[in-house]
Homo-oligomer: A and B are copies of this chain.
Amino acid sequence: MSETREQVLEEIKIQGDLVRKLKAAKEPKEKIDEEVAKLLALKAKLGDEPAQNQKFTLKTPKGTRDYAPQQMMLRQNVLDRIVAVFKKHGGEAIDTPVFELKEVLTGKYGEDSKLIYDLKDQGGEILSLRYDLTVPLARYLAMSKISSIKRYHIAKVYRRDNPAMTRGRYREFYQCDFDIAGSYDPMLPDAECVKIVSEILDTLDIGEYVIKLNHRQLLDGMFEACGVPADKFRSICSAVDKLDKSPWAEVRREMIEEKGLDASTADQIGEYVQLSGGTDLVEKLLADPKLKAVNAAVKGLEGMQLLLKYCGAMGLSNKISFDLSLARGLDYYTGVIYECVLKAEPKILANGATEEQGTVGSVAGGGRYDNLVGMFDPKGKQVPCVGVSIGVERIFSVLEAKASAAGLKPRTNEVEVYVASAHKGLHEKRLSILNDLWNQGVKAEHSYKLNPKLLAQLQHCEEQQIPLAVVFGDSELEKGIVKLREVSSRKEEDIPLAELANEIKKRLRN
């Protein structure tokens, strides 16, 4: 059922009018570009113009980016360190498709559902890009009838959010998830997740951080104690979640004006959500008359007590904070919730003292979700889960800024030997030397030129920080040798061709 040419021409006319209107109204360039792109896509449908003559904005889609080799080195290094921690805790890797049946994602993300990318209906199934790795995990566990696993999953997820790319907020971004699925005793897996986040942040060495902890049952109990109707728990929870970005006055306004809460109820919530601390705070709240009367609040507080104790046994006490303002936006959490934020570097004051600068944004989050797998199981069988997700884009941003400030320019390839020829007519000999080196596992390259200048070849080695160069001409070949050059010192030594690969490997080992 493809469109007729007339339909496309009509669409082009309408779209062209829209573009002209936007331009006349001096709308923002980005908005105009988007509509121009649609216009060009329509014109392309006609197939009148050969592809060569297409004119369009040369860019990646909004909120996405390419990774250049330099950035890939950094990214791979970060991901490798994270995987090492996941493996240290017994994690097994899985992967799922980048898209899911749309209905798999429906009803899982609360107010954030509007940020899901849908695929076009091209006939067949209705699909959406994954929004996180947690819902696909739950679908996988139900589908594969797995009742316990420690799995990690490192993959990109997709959110049609407002990007803020300099701060590492993208529409396509990596998540590194570790989740413990299975029926275990309270808070033992939950505490290990805190340990994992702490180990990862320590190994990445990106500065001070604090892991905020809270409990959905405590939040619900607190809402109940303050007089929030049960059907508003989730939407009030979403409002509390905004406290990391908005002041209380704004969140209070949302609760009252948009979500219809009494002012007095909102004010009671306001009292609680400013509290944070440790075991002392848990005990204080367990004695709070309003909370004491609500079963969910007591259960949540007892859970927090246990979690804090276990975190203490793993040396985490000075890295965590029980924080009643932590809510997490997603609908599916049922127990403990986590969020790890980097502290800003302390500011040095005029008098030489330092001043704490608050936090610069979340780098990890997660929590317990005991009912999600059951939503997928045909018989509603539950598999309790708890997990954390590391938001590496922000970590990349921080580390990129650090590397660039330090003026670091690490190599982006691993070439060990460059094969250079001293005069023309030697390209086939280069190939046969390279072939021998490659076959023996040596990382080697040459110029791809028939007749490269020797100086240019040696300069390439120095610029690219290649450690060794093989140099030869007819005079060397006659003697069955080549010169092996140490690029940094420019020292050369004659090596019999038959021993070249071994000599290179020996030198690289040292």
Q: What is the interface of chain A, defined by CB distance below 8 A to chain B?
A: 34, 37-38, 40-41, 44, 50-52, 54, 56-62, 64-69, 72-73, 75-76, 87-104, 106-108, 117-122, 124-127, 129, 139-140, 142-144, 149-151, 156, 158, 160, 172, 180, 182, 184-185, 188-189, 191-192, 195, 199, 309-310, 313-315, 371, 374-376, 378, 380, 412-415, 427-428, 431-432, 434-435, 438-439, 441-445, 447-450
A59 to chain B, nearest CB (A): 7
Q: Is there an interface contact between B93 and A72, defined as CB atoms closer than 8 Å?
A: yes
Whether A99 touches B41, Cβ cut-off 8 Å, given contacts A191-B431, A378-B58, is no
For the complex formed, measure the closest distance between the CB of A370 and the CB atoms of chain B, giving whole angstroms: 13
Report the 3 A-B pairs with minimum CB-CB distance, sorted nearest first: A51-B107, A184-B448, A69-B92
Say how far A80's CB is from chain B's closest CB, in angstroms: 12
A195 is contacted by which of B62, B92, B106, B438 (Cβ under 8 Å)? B438
Cβ–Cβ contact A118 & B127, under 8 A: no
Shortest CB distance A447–B (Å): 8
- Is B106 in contact with A51, judged by CB distance below 8 angstroms? yes
Cβ contact within 8 Å between B61 and A97: yes
State whether A94 and B67 are in contact (beta carbons under 8 Å apart), knowing that A51-B108, A188-B427 are contacts in the complex.
yes
Question: Per a CB cutoff under 8 Å, which of B97, B314, B428 touches A434?
Answer: B314
Q: Which residue of B lies closest to A448 (CB)?
A: B184
Q: Is the CB of B126 within 8 A of A314?
A: no
Q: A76-B93, A314-B432, A443-B88 are in contact. Are A448 and B102 (CB under 8 A)?
A: no
12 intermolecular pairs with C-beta atoms under 8 Å apart: A50-B107, A54-B375, A60-B96, A61-B97, A61-B127, A67-B95, A67-B96, A69-B151, A92-B413, A185-B448, A185-B450, A188-B450
| Docked-complex contact A90 and B432, CB < 8 angstroms | no
Complex interface: chain B residues within 8 A of A140 (CB) = 66
Pair A189/B125 contact, Cβ less than 8 Å = no
Q: A64-B97, A119-B120 are known contacts. Are A195 and B59 too (CB-CB below 8 A)? A: no
**A413 and B91 contact, CB distance less than 8 A:** yes
Contact status B51-A72, CB under 8 Å: no
B34 and A124 contacting across the interface, CB-CB below 8 Å? yes
Inter-chain contact A54/B107, CB cutoff 8 Å: yes
From known contacts A40-B103, A103-B44, A191-B431, infer whether A160 and B61 are also in contact, taking CB-CB under 8 Å: no
A139: chain B residues at CB < 8 Å are 58
In the complex, A76 Cα to B375 Cα: how many Å? 31
In the complex, what distance in Å separates the CA atom of A173 from the CA atom of B375? 28
Would you call B41 and A92 a contact (CB within 8 A)? no
Given A41-B103, A122-B118, is A438 in contact with B156 using a C-beta cutoff of 8 Å? no
* Residues in B neighbouring A61, C-beta threshold 8 A: 97, 99-101, 125, 127
Q: Assuming the A-B contacts A91-B413, A435-B195, are A37 and B126 also in contact, with contact meaning beta carbons closer than 8 angstroms in the complex?
A: yes
Q: Give A237 Cβ to nearest chain B Cβ, in Å.
A: 16
| In the complex, chain B residues whose CB is within 8 Å of the CB of A50 | 107
Does A125 lie within 8 Å of B62, measured CB to CB? yes
Whether B37 lies near A90 (C-beta < 8 A) is no
CB of A184 within 8 A of CB of B58, answer: no
Chain B residue numbers with a CB within 8 Å of A441 are 88
Assuming A87-B443, A107-B50, is B95 touching A58 (CB within 8 A)?
Answer: no
* Distance in Å: Cβ of A18 to nearest Cβ of chain B: 13
Within 8 Å by CB of A124, from B54, B62, B106, lies B62
Give complex CA distance A90, B465 in Å. 12
Contact of A120 among B121, B151, B195, B450 (CB under 8 A): B121
Cα distance A34–B123 in the bound complex, in angstroms: 9
If the complex has contacts A61-B127, A94-B66, A97-B64, are A432 and B106 also in contact, measured as CB distance less than 8 A?
no
Residue contact A41 to B106, C-beta cutoff 8 Å: yes
Q: How far is B41's CA from A142's CA once the two chains are assembled, in angstroms?
A: 20
A34 to B102, CA, bound (A): 12
Tell me the complex Cα distance, A232–B459, Å.
48
CB-defined contacts of A450 to chain B, threshold 8 Å: 185, 188
B52–A374 CB distance below 8 A: yes
